[in-house]
Structure 1
Amino acid sequence: MFDQINGMPVHALVLHAAVVFVPLLALVAVVYAVVPRWRPKIGWAAILLAVAAPVTAFVAMESGEKLYDRLVASGMTGPALEKIDAHSGFGTMTFYFTLALGVATLVMTFLTLRTTTKRLPRAADVLLAVVVLALAALSGYYVFRTGDSGAQAVWGTTS
């Protein structure tokens, strides 16, 4: 399922979705957390991205593992494989931090988009915002490191 589609590695097809959705989730989650007056307007986007980003990160991670297995089976060794190992580690971290950000974003949206007049206590709102901000920063960092290490593994360094 995660290996190939018509002879093309699934990883090459789906990694771009993660590269788009993970930063979008981070951006929307941060705005949702720090600009309460925009919450009714962007809550739907936060919920959709909180589901889509971890799913795309997971598919990219799993398809990357299949591609890795294929490369090892073809006899790849040495420095190239070490670069791919580093890329794989960053990809795994991207998935875990994106999953955590998605869960935190869902929790925050469900607790703040209630239709009742009872509001979330200020301390809880601030705590959730801090958690979302930290997870957004970590997700953004790791998606960048994953993409950069993947590009370096494929295209090589210029320095």
Structure 2
Amino acid sequence: MTVNGLPLHALVVHAAVVLGPLAAVAGVVLALVPRWRWATRWPTLGLAAAAVVSVVAAYTSGSSHLDANPALAQLPAVATHQERAVVLLAVVAAYGVVAVAAALLLPGPTALASGRGARASRGVVLDRLLVAGVLALSVLMAVYVVLVGDAGARAVWG
């Protein structure tokens, strides 16, 4: 599929390159700054969803582009790009699940003077697991966005 003569993949990847790291930063802030959780829950949820959608769209459009141009599959740089994209797809899916769980379950204060809306801890072990999961997957997602993007750029530009 093309848009004005450009492969859709070349356009869609830019959303993944921007939204993946933004979602990772939002996840890190949600995990590490409990007093800001009231303000970071919804942005983290929104960015996580946008990152998942953009990476899936980039992966799907890349597969479509490869199907339309089978000669590209013979290039080692394209194979590297594709292998890394498969890993990123799994990482961003896992991040989406863990980010939703963290945003909904991690304790934190509220912005309301009455204190309504504050979230109590559901257990130290669960809190720590969610924080560790969000941190690990945030770093992994940001790293793989860079690795996939670098491999794709090398495949196109040498």
TM-score class, shorter-chain normalisation, is 0.7 to 0.9
Contact 2:66 2:73 (C-alpha < 8 Å) held by counterparts: no
Letter in 2 for 1:35: V
Q: In structure 1, how many angstroms separate the alpha carbons of the residues matched to 2:15 and 2:127? A: 30
- Aligned with residue 103 of structure 1, among 97, 108, 130: 97
Structure 1 SS opposite 2:122: coil
Give the superposition deviation at 1:97. Answer: 0.3
Q: How many residues align?
A: 150
Q: In structure 2, how many angstroms separate the alpha carbons of the residues matched to 1:128 and 1:41? A: 18
> Which runs of 5 or more residues in structure 2 are unaligned?
109-116
TM-score by length of 2: 0.87
Within 5 A, what are the aligned runs for 1:12-51?
12-51=10-49
Q: In structure 2, how many angstroms separate the alpha carbons of the residues matched to 1:142 and 1:116? A: 34
Q: Does 1:64 align with 2:62?
A: yes
Within 5 A, what are the aligned runs for 1:135-146?
135-146=137-148
TM-score by length of 1: 0.87
Structure 2 SS opposite 1:119: coil
> Cα RMSD between the aligned structures?
1.7
Q: In structure 1, how many angstroms separate the alpha carbons of the residues matched to 2:119 and 2:88? A: 37
Shift in alpha-carbon separation, 1:76–1:104, aligned structure 2, 3 A = closer
Give the superposition deviation at 1:138. Answer: 1.1
Query: Structure 1, residues 28-58: CA drift from partner, whole Å, max 9, x if none?
Result: 1011011111101111100101111011000
